[in-house]
Amino acid sequence: MSQADADALLQEVSAYLKAEDVAQVQAALDFSHAAHAGQLRESGAPYVTHPIAVARILTPLHLDTHAIIAALLHDVAEDTCVTLDEISTQFGKQVADLVDGLSKIDKLQFETKEDAQAENFRKMLMAMARDVRVILIKLADRLHNMRTLGAVSKEKSSRIAHETLDIYAPIANRLGLNTIFQELQDLCFKYLHPNRYEVLAKALKVARGNRREVVTKILESISKRLEENLLHAEVKGREKHLFGIYEKMQTKSLAFSQVLDIYGFRILVDDVPSCYLALGVLHGLYKPFPGKFKDYIAIQKANGYQSLHTTLFGPFGTPIEVQIRTHEMNKLAESGVASHWLYKTSESQINELHQKTHQWLQSLLESLAQSGDSVEFLEHLKVDLFPDEVYVFSPKGKIFALPRGATAVDFAYSVHTDIGNRCVASKVNTELVPLRTELRNGDRVEIITAPNAHPNSAWLNYVVTSKARGEIRHALKTMHLDESSKLGERLLAQALTTLNLKLAEIPEVCWERVLRETGTKSRQELCADIGLGRRLNMVIAHQLSKQNEGEPVNSAPHESGVITLLGNEGMAIKYAKCCRPIPGDPVIAVIKSGQGLVVHTHDCPSLRKGRSGNEWLDVVWDKSITRLFDVSLKLIVANQRGVLAKIASAIAEANSNIENVNFENEGEYTATYFTLQVNNRAHLANIMRNLRRIPEVVRIIRTKVSNT
């Protein structure tokens, strides 16, 4: 059987490769036969039948000699004693690089299967970014494995089918490989839902016979009308694939008969103007469904797909789906990035597609580099592979394709990382909208930036693209490191004062020794560890105070200093929500590991849980703090009309903002909880004086917990 397949492969490559290239393929066939000698697949067939089948899947795409040889050898380095160096010597470095990109990472140990899977995808994506042929061979490999999945256990077939449906089929779709995409989906459906697959397959076979007459009638009427309008066109009926039917039934809660009522037709014309002329002819023949027209020629999909889509009321009210495109568009729709090898026309369009594919792969690699763990990366990958895209415009008319559910922040990062990091507001269709606003097809989006703006961690709750999520995390991590380092430097300087030392006077040799002892790479990293509570400032201060191993620089004691709260430390200093300290309150701070400095009021209930020596630090407020702080007030007020308006007015007169308000009805009186923004205790006292002047306000209490 393998010899017949081998002969068929040689015949297929002979149709488009030169004689010397065919000879190389023959040599690779012999090499693969020898390497896999004695190995069997789980089905019992000789193992070499698999690489031959993979190579044959690629021949219709007219892939070059190196790719065909790599397909024949893709499992050699992984499953036999043959090394990549031997492959490189025999067939060249290019083939060896392709084979390396296709080999799994089995020799490394990973904690979980997800970690191993993510690392294998990372390797494959990096190889794809260098050479897209890697993924074409990988998809062919996965397609043949899916075709022969019946030979493996049910548990293994289910796992492979899930992975294929989640990752590989969407990649095929993203690269425009429509035929491979649809077959992978159908095969996944077959192994994940065998009973449903069988029922649908039988029903489709019956329906195919029943609808033949209707399809023929529609084909004839469309062809006749196009001819009458002097349009040279090729009209074909097209059948929905099984998974497409099943998916539509699931998502739209339709019965099988309702899905089968939609007949599909494809019209191929010579040029773009003819596409729009044919659309006009069709709309004259059958009435179009309102809102069911899509122009993917003017606004092409991210994978390069172009076509006009319309749905019509056919004979007897039967809905008809029609795709109108040029022959060139059809070739690209069927072969995607493989069009570079299959066809030599429309090079500019294919080059643009390759560029978009490369950009997409780079964004995936960036998201992998910035993801916290492997599971998170795989989730990001799935989001990028199932975009269900919306198309929006920049103010200058440039088109951006984003996943459905994308927000103005996603758009900002898709324009440029700096635009995303500095965005403060957005306009959609010239109207100011919140940054979390979801974008819709056709929206015109403008991003407003500020030079000193920074990403907000709250953005992570509503961005959907991996690029935006990765860049936000990276920026926050950098900000946190910088702020923590500055705080750690202040804490270290304070500790050194107790030893009568100044930070600037510490010799370089002492820094180098302490960095070696602590295993940190730089002063910034060491100070950041102190600021985040991972290391104690007094311990590091004592280590720095030693000129050599046991020789102190100057150990004379000195009265301990205090940390001054400037109010602009960002994430490095947190103000405890349990007591909500504001400038003017007596305060104390605790270093919590991984959080940095947390500031409490002296009378905070959490202080009663105990102190432990060096963990607690004395802090004082800087007199020039200008930032606003949240404070909670409880007002007991009489239930009278207009009282809330009086309270709001009194707060506004005192130049304060109301962040939140809640109510608890207590009969004749209502407990009203406010969260206000104040500058300091004096500002709070002024607000409370204003509130006491309101006759309906019976009592005012500053509460020490959040009521939001």
Ranges in the chain annotated CATH 3.10.20.30: 353-473
Give me the percent of the chain exceeding a pLDDT of 90: 23
Query: Does residue 114 have a pLDDT over 60?
Result: yes
Quote the tokens at residue 295.
Answer: 């122009």
State residue 109's pLDDT score. Answer: 47
Strands 616-621 and 563-565: parallel
CA–CA gap between residue 124 and residue 137 (Å, rounded): 11
Cα distance between residue 686 and residue 668, in whole Å: 27
Quickly state the pLDDT bin for 187 (edges 50, 70, 90).
very high
Residue 37 has pLDDT above 80, yes or no: yes
The yes-or-no verdict on residue 697 having pLDDT over 50 is: yes
Q: Are strands 629-638 and 657-666 parallel, antiparallel or unpaired?
A: unpaired
79 as an active site residue: the answer is yes
Please report which confidence band the pLDDT of residue 412 belongs to, taking 50, 70 and 90 as the band edges: very high
Separation of alpha carbons 697 and 635, rounded Å: 7
For the domain with range 203-344, which CATH number is right: 3.40.50.1820, 3.30.460.10, 3.40.50.10540, 3.40.50.150? Answer: 3.30.460.10
In the prediction, which pLDDT does 455 show?
87
Active-site residue, selected from the candidate residues 5, 21, 79, 119: 79
pLDDT tens-digit readout, 196-205: 999 888 888 7
228 counts as catalytic:
no
Q: What is the pLDDT of residue 550?
A: 46
Rounded distance between C-alpha atoms, residue 613 and residue 225, angstroms: 91
> Hey, what amino acid is at 501?
L
Cβ-Cβ contacts under 8 Å for 689 (sequence gap 6 or more)? none
Q: Which residue has the higher pLDDT, 476 or 636?
A: 636
Q: pTM of the full predicted structure?
A: 0.59
Give yes or no for residue 552 having a pLDDT over 50.
Answer: no
The pLDDT score that the predictor gives to residue 373 is 53
Among 58-62, 426-430, 702-706, the range scoring the smallest mean pLDDT is: 702-706
Q: What per-residue confidence (pLDDT) applies to 369?
A: 55
How far CA 107 is from CA of 21, 81, 160, 664, in Å, comes to 34, 14, 21, 63
Pick the CATH number of 353-473 from 3.10.20.30, 3.90.850.10, 3.40.1050.10, 3.40.1190.20: 3.10.20.30
Give start-end residues of each CATH 3.30.460.10 domain in the chain.
203-344
Q: Taking residues 492-515, what's their average pLDDT?
A: 82
pLDDT tens, 557-601? 444 456 778 776 666 677 888 888 999 999 888 866 555 678 888
Say which range, 108-122, 191-205, 308-322, has the weakest mean pLDDT.
108-122
**What is residue 337's predicted lDDT score, i.e. its pLDDT?**
65
What pLDDT, on a 0 to 100 scale, did the predictor assign at position 610? 53
pLDDT digits 0-9 by tens, 44-92 = 888 899 999 999 999 988 888 999 999 999 888 888 888 888 999 999 9
pLDDT band of 1, cuts 50, 70, 90: very low
Better pLDDT: 170 or 302: 170
Higher model confidence: residue 319 or residue 186? 186
| CA distances for 333 relative to 245, 272, 300, 330, angstroms | 20, 15, 11, 5
For CATH 3.30.70.260, the residue range(s) in the chain are: 629-703
Burial of 127 (0-12, 13-18, 19+ CB in 10 A): buried
**Considering the chain, what is the average pLDDT of its residues?**
81
Which pLDDT belongs to residue 533? Answer: 67
Please, which pLDDT band fits residue 110 given cuts at 50, 70 and 90? very low
The confidence score (pLDDT) of residue 499 equals 75
Residues forming beta bridges with residue 392, ordered by sequence position: 400
State both tokens at 27.
Answer: 């040599």
pLDDT value of position 609: 61
Residue appearing with tokens 């021949």: 59
Residue 451 has pLDDT above 80, yes or no: yes
> Residue 342: pLDDT above 60?
no
Most confident residue range from 181-185, 363-367, 467-471: 181-185
CATH fold of 629-703: Alpha-Beta Plaits (3.30.70)
| pLDDT tens digits for range 118-159 | 666 666 666 666 777 888 898 999 999 999 988 888 888 898
Would you state the pLDDT for residue 345? 45
Q: Report which of residues 359 and 348 the model is more confident about.
A: 359
Q: Which of 5, 64, 78, 166 is catalytic?
A: 78
Look at residue 410 in the predicted model and tell me its pLDDT: 93
Kindly report, as residue ranges, where domains of CATH 1.10.3210.10 are found in the chain: 2-192
- Topology of domain 2-192, per CATH? Hypothetical protein af1432 (1.10.3210)
Tell me what pLDDT residue 184 has.
93
pLDDT at 676: 92
Percent of the chain residues topping a pLDDT of 70: 80
